[in-house]
Every structure is written in structure tokens, then in C-alpha cells.
Structure 1
Amino acid sequence: MSRRRAPLLTLLLAVGVMPAQARVRLGEPLPAHPWVSAGREVVVVYSHDCGDLGALWTAILASGLPVRAVNAEDIPAPAPTGVPAWRGADATAFARTLRVGTYPAVLLVQGGRILNAWEGTFAGDLGLAGLDDPGQP
């Protein structure tokens, strides 16, 4: 009798030894939140220890999209003038339900679902040109 490997068991063992990583999942709906969703919007999930977010906020605000600020982890940190920050235990629960692995997390949301996400590495381009013009690659 030939010895066969159990592919499912091998996969489960391999997954079990990999470190667990939080990852925001594209296509998932946003968890419960206190704002009325816009057609397309940007959600910034950040904490007090993100450092200077001036360039990030400038790029986000330049998009012209509605911006939602979620200040997670229970220590207040400012958002730009005119952008109310959601704070407290519910904001932290929102970030954890999303499985945010690194702050700041920038989420491009359309119709209440996550269209794109950047965790800790947002360079200022939301990729809107390709979304608005189907002829673009």
C-alpha cells in the first residue's frame, strides 16, 4: 500500500505554524459605524502613536471624497479641522472587527464595502483614476 499525504491535514498544519496576521479584507462591508455612508468615501483608522500624519491627511483631503476619521485605542489624537473623529471603545471595536493590523489604515469604501486598503503604507494615491475611467489600465 502506498503512503499518501493528507493534503488538508498538511494545509492545516502549515497554517497553524504561520503567525496570525490581521488583514483588512477587500469586498467586506464596514462594521457598524455612526455615520451615514456616502457612495464613495475614505475611512482613516489611526491611533495616538502614528506620529505626524500631516502628509497623509493632506493627501486624503485632496481626494475630494468624504473623510471619516476613526481614532482607535482609547487615547485621543486629533484629526484635521472639519473632520470629526470617532473615538472611544466603539471606535476601537470597529478597528478590531475590520482586523486592522497596522495604524494608520486608509480604506477606500464604495457602497459600504471596502474597495481598497492600505495599512501603514499609504503613499497618497487612492487609485481613483482607474475607477472613474474604465478605459484606464
Structure 2
Amino acid sequence: MRLRRAPLLTLLLTLGVSAADARVRLGESLPAHPWTAAEREVVVVYSHDCGDLGDLWDAVLASGLPVRAVNAEGIQTPAPAGLRAWDGEAATAFARKLRVGAYPTVLLVQGGRILNAWEGTFTGQLE
């Protein structure tokens, strides 16, 4: 029998296994954004040169939390069906105010503050 993780636990494990050093500061408030904040949400900041993010989107969407897609750096790249990506200069300014060091960056946000951050290439492996 194969052990299955709960979607939120899977997301937390994904965020906790980081090969990159996040420059985003935990505990800080999110910069201004165009969406209505939820109590707990996931923010994915990505750009056109991230490659295939299918596995990452699957893990994030399986969390059951509201997901916000931020497409930075000026080249439109679609988010998965059902998600509307915020893009343009304001989205890039948002990423820079966060001090994103690598795309994609996934933020777990609670009460408007960054609870956890993960930056870098997602391989689909949690362990």
C-alpha cells in the first residue's frame, strides 16, 4: 500500500525542501497586489523562462488553497486553466519588492504575511 499525503502537507513539504536560498523574507507583508487576500493562500511568481511548470502547478493546485499567479518580467506566459495570471510592469515590480532571487518562487501566505518561501527549479521530487 502506498502512503498518500494530504494536499496541504504535500505543499508544505514541497516548500520546505529547497535547493535554493530564498531571499524573500519570511514574516514580511506582501507588497501591493490586485487580488483580495485570503486568510491563507499560495502565490506563485514565475517568468517565461521557467520551463515546464506542470508538476509545480499540480502540487500547488492540489493544496486546496487559493492560488495567485504572478507572471513577472514582461513576457506573457499563461497560468493553468482556471487561473488568471497577473502580468505586466506592476507584476514585475511586485517580484522585485519581494526580492525574488529565482523563478519560480512559491510563497505560502497567511494573513497577508509570508509564512514560507521556496525558490528554484522544481523537479517534482519531494524527497
Q: 1:121 Cα shift? A: 4.5
Alignment: residue pair count? 106
Q: Tell me the residue number matched to 1:54.
A: 54
Q: 1:122 Cα shift? A: 4.8
Q: Tell me the residue number matched to 1:88.
A: 88
Listed as ranges, the gaps of 5+ residues in structure 1 are 1-20, 126-137
SS at match of 2:116: strand
Alignment of 1:1-137 (within 5 A): 23-122=23-122
Moved over 6 A (4+): none
AA matched with 1:101 = G
AA matched with 1:49 = D
Which of the pair has the greater relative contact order for Cα pairs under 8 Å at 6+ separation?
Answer: 2
The TM-score with structure 2 as length reference comes to 0.79
Distance 2:75 2:123 in 1: 25
The TM-score with structure 1 as length reference comes to 0.73
Q: CA RMSD in A?
A: 2.0
Q: Report if aligned partners of 1:106, 1:122 keep a CA contact under 8 Å in 2.
A: no
**Identity of aligned pairs, percent?**
79
Between structure 1 and structure 2, the one with the greater Rg is 1
Q: 1:81 Cα shift? A: 0.5
Distance 1:92 1:64 in 2: 26
